[in-house]
Structure 1
Amino acid sequence: MSNSATDSPTTPDTVWPARGRHIGPDAEDVLLRHLRRLKDDEVLDDFTEPKPAEDTPERVFEARWRVADEVTVRARLTLAPPQEQEEGRVWQLLAEAEQPWSEWWPSPATMFWPDGDDASWDHHHAVAGLRLGGVGPLPSDDKDMRRVIRDAARESWSVNVVVHEAMTPDERGRRPLAQLLPPGLRHRVVEHRAAPQQLRAVNWALRDLGVWVPRGGAVIVPPDPAPAGYDGPEYSVRSVFLDGSEPTELLDVLRRFAALPKPMPRGVEEALTGLREQWTLMTLEEELARERRLVAMYAEALEAMTKSRDLYRDAAERAHEALAAYKDTPAPAAGRPGAPAASPFRQLTRTFERWKGTAKGLRPAPTATDPSQDGDDTGEAGRVS
């Protein structure tokens, strides 16, 4: 596993990423019903399902809402098509706010999916048996345990924490610790539980990742790639009491780790580009501003084309004058031996060389195009009401 933090850019602190798997039928209907209900309740400002490109089998849903009364959040959820021999459908969600993300803001996942104990959308996208914000007992087989931890941590969009049970907990101790986290972190944490007799096996599984879990404690599994300066012991806890009380030290470690600047896992950069460049859910003011930018861009392009046309017209006129002078020049008279004769052809050649250099030097530079202006302008027709 590569733990280099230099291979990918850092995830902006305004971004909230998550991905999972919806188990069950009618994922689109579940999404649309929930989005409509939240819009009717004025939780969402608006939402839409943009028309997908012809070569894209994915379904895309966009939603916009406000937090802290004035901070706008834009989010885009992509639902992959069903795959043979795979249960459910994989989804990925990326939200971006106008300010750095606060852990106390609502979870963007609950803006698209209905929250509750019977949720079918919060399963891990790659590892069966794991749930976002839930508890996943580690397999009894050592090799399976190692595979689960490795696959969950590889290119993870979530925070993975391993908790060792010092003794078998009661019903209160079996509750997910993520339920005690602020709402903005709840669906970004995956909790792995090791039974009392699994301490040696789980530390064998964590050995390649450079961390270990204390007896009766917990440790955050470093993602791949790991944050710069990640120190395993700094993000471990020696004691976690699974008796229903609040594990203050562990919750503090989880919150500190979630706030760390982290390299973008694979897929996050593409999702962020799609959110920014293919966004269609605009207000009237945003649409007007975009049209003004387009008009300014077209005006610059027209001006550059006009200058280029004038440039080549002037060069063509010079070339015609030189050619006419060449045709009107009489044949040179015989001079003294060895004296060079004046050549009208040489004059024409010089004219063409000057024209070529002038045209090349004055050619206008290509106008940069704003990537955010290439999206499909669906306007009011692209919204779902």
Structure 2
Amino acid sequence: MEKYYFAALRMVPGIGNVRLVKLVNHFGSARQAWMAERGDLFLCPHLDSQAKEQLLAARSKVDVHKLAAEWEKSGIKICTFQDNEDLVEYPLLLKNIFNPPAVLFYRGELPDTDRLIAVVGSRRCSSYGRTVAEKLGSELAQAGFWVVSGGARGIDTAAHSGAMSAGKTLAVLGCGVDLVYPPENKKLFAQILECGCGIISEYPPGTAAYPAHFPSRNRIISGIARGVVVVEAPQRSGALITAEWALEQGRDVFAVPGSIFSSASRGCHQLIKQGAKLVESGEDVLEEYGFAFQKAASPIKTNAEPMSDLEKAVLETLSFEIRRNIEDIIAETGLPPAQVAFGLLKLQLRGIVVEDESQCYLRCSREG
């Protein structure tokens, strides 16, 4: 039950990570801190008078045993920084950052390894950014790394989805783990739990997503991983805050280049100028840690027939960044619609072209 007293203390307004650790050390345990006599509590030098009153008010309203039962029923688990019985669960790399979360709430499973890489970027990403994030997520997961991201729309969603196609992913939230934010990612979060991955937060269940939570959330994304890959980030982006945290924590920073005309990639280009490693594939990340990239088996056999003139003609109209609909491709190639559709299908089977949700096409891999 000790960890639930930790969690109950963390729920008290005015008791953050630093105060919580000092409070527990002062009283000897989280339970003793929660149950302390009023006089002993007011003699504690680590809380101001307002926080002490907040703690007393919380104690009169919260039944820790009932709270524990409710969370267990909902599949919400807890690990703490100091609780010996949970020390093996607390993420190893996160434990060593400055001001680590005293309590982590999670659903699903926590990584049992330190082989984690964060993939982050803009919520308003392009098709290019989405494709790259999904590709990196898949390649890193395939190599045995957990892919960490923030569960947000855009790049985060693509990274999680790509990782789940080949391995494990971890979503770090800026709200309680019992909530879904953004709401449209309800299906994604369900898939994360169904495939044996995890969702974590330092915020207690029921905590809404506030803008002030996300910079703090970002320090967990970087702190729990060996390195951070930034895919598409404008100059003012939360992904750049994550990169700054990574540098402060001694983590590696990687960045994916984009078009020099795209404002969505200016943050990435800035990072590359400052020394971040330029990344074009998961292999570029893996080689930093001495891991070889094993390419997934292709749906096309290794002795596949050479690319036809039709496929080459269709491919020439497509780029990695600009989406093209089938009408544009037909107009540019001058080919009949049926032939263009067949060429696109062949290119998709080769894994060279993808179709997005708006039925537009984009290159996602170099031929061969």
Fold shared, TM-score > 0.5 on shorter chain: no
TM-score normalised by length of structure 2: 0.24
CA radius of gyration, larger in: 1
TM-score normalised by length of structure 1: 0.23
Q: Where is the helix percentage greater, Structure 1 or Structure 2?
A: 2
